[in-house]
Amino acid sequence: MKSFEAVKHYFNLAADQLELTENMRTLLLTAKREVQVQIAIERDSGDLETLIGYRVQHDNARGPMKGGLRFHHEVDLDEVRSLASLMTWKTAVVNIPYGGAKGGIAVDARSLSLGELERITRKFIDEIHDVIGPDTDIPAPDMGTNAEVMAWIMNQHNKYHGFSPGVVTGKPVEHYGIHGREEATGRGVGILAIKTIGRLGHKPSTTRVAIQGFGKVGTYAAKFLQDADCKVEAVSDISGAYYRQGGLNINDVIRYSNTHGQGLEGYAEADKITNAELLELDVELLVPAALGGVITAENAPRVKAPLIIEAANAPIRPDADEMLTEGGVTIVPDILANAGGVTVSYFEWAQNRQYYRWNLDRVRQELERVMSSAFEEVWELAREREVSLRTAAFMLGINRVSRATVLAGIT
């Protein structure tokens, strides 16, 4: 099943519960605008390279469209379209005044020098600057992009349209960014993990955790969960997975990965296992925080964790989702679990527009407030309607978007 088909599947499960008409489903599933552009750059070697960039603007019924930019070799229009749609439901679930969008460039970000990365980013903005803006569509970081890339986006956009820091979020703290944006997604995952563990009648101290992916999201989630007394027994990156019964020392792992230059490769205070084995570990909590589609109908029967928090976007394929849900596994879905990033993006954007700034404590408090109330709403709806947390989250999101669409008047 392709990525967009998967989102459509989840959408329809919720739309059935909401008894949404076919016409409304088509309207809500169709993106407002899909842009595909050519990005021609000169590599450091002097070679000419032509890349393809995408920006899908899915829906703006509840506010300007919002979503990250992904630089990854697997990016294609179908994936960007699916992620743009997820952003619409995500911003609606946490009830921030945004719609959904997503962008990407099909390129292996790790193969680029800093100069190449900057040239690609600026060229992409040259091509799309007139369809983004602080009132229309606001990009942010995602896989393969970071705060520095966001600073280039702001700078390049502002050359055409004048000073406007709210055109992009996730900027460096020293350059119109907000404290706590980098940790926000991982922290939000941690907050919801602790809430769900409690709701299921368990304690953090008896919760063993495996985290797939040790990028920004995985790292901050691991740190938060360790500080909350969980035993993070395994983490992984592209070099493989690292397991230690009784719990890794996450501060030590982070230090190693930051200083070593090649991520976790060679980390000796743990047993080396594969990324696939990590997903099947005997733990109480599994956090997929890397790519989409890692849990499939093939490996789902071997997944032992009774609780999965989706830190990545779309890490579980629909057939696996059905198998796990039927088997009694609690899944906190991406559109709720990883909404911490876009929530703090919203704080950044709102503050950019007022030339005002919160300190880190305030950002954390407000993040906790937004994530907790969304969690309560989703949990309550799931209980009331006897549906999975995913279907409840989609129901909440779709309902808000369809109400806004109808209230604004469709034609």
Q: Which positions lie near ligand GLU, rule CB under 6 A?
A: 66-68, 140, 142, 169-170, 313, 338, 341-342, 345
Q: Minimum CB separation from ligand GLU for residue 129, in Å?
A: 18
Q: Minimum CB separation from ligand GLU for residue 341, in Å?
A: 4
Catalytic one of 8, 90, 102, 216? 102
Residue 113, burial from CB neighbour count under 10 angstroms (0-12, 13-18, 19+): exposed
CB-wise, 120 or 344, nearer to ligand GLU? 344
66: annotated active-site residue = no
Q: Minimum CB separation from ligand GLU for residue 92, in Å?
A: 13
CB-wise, 118 or 182, nearer to ligand GLU? 182
Two tokens, residue 308 = 């999965």
Q: Minimum CB separation from ligand GLU for residue 102, in Å?
A: 7
CB-wise, 253 or 335, nearer to ligand GLU? 335
Q: Minimum CB separation from ligand GLU for residue 127, in Å?
A: 20
Matching residue, tokens 């609606």: 92
Closest residue (Cβ) to ligand GLU? Answer: 68
CB-wise, 67 or 318, nearer to ligand GLU? 67
- Cα distances (angstroms) measured from residue 239 to each of 251, 258, 401: 19, 14, 41
Among candidate residues 158, 134, 167, 177, the one with its CA nearest the CA of residue 348: 177
CB-wise, 68 or 318, nearer to ligand GLU? 68
CB-wise, 39 or 336, nearer to ligand GLU? 336
Q: Encode burial over 219-245: b for 16+ CB neighbours within 10 A, e otherwise.
A: bbbbbbbbeeebbbbbbbbebbbbbbe
If DSSP states are collapsed to H, E and C, what string results for 306-363?
A: CEEECCCCCCECHHHHHHHHHCCCEEECHHHHCCHHHHHHHHHHHHHCCCCCCCHHHH
CB-wise, 80 or 283, nearer to ligand GLU? 80
Give the rounded distance of the alpha carbon of 312 from its chain centre: 5
Q: Minimum CB separation from ligand GLU for residue 170, in Å?
A: 6
- Sheet of 307-309, strand order: 271-273, 240-243, 231-237, 208-212, 285-288, 307-309, 330-332
Catalogue the long-range contacts made by 169-176 (C-beta closer than 8 Å, 24 or more residues apart).
169/66, 169/138, 169/139, 169/140, 169/345, 169/346, 169/348, 169/349, 169/352, 170/68, 170/140, 170/141, 170/146, 170/341, 170/345, 170/348, 171/147, 171/348, 172/147, 172/148, 173/147, 175/151, 176/348, 176/352
Q: Minimum CB separation from ligand GLU for residue 272, in Å?
A: 30
Q: Which helix (H) or strand (E) holds 42?
A: strand 33-42
Two tokens, residue 62 = 């509840």
Active site residues: 102
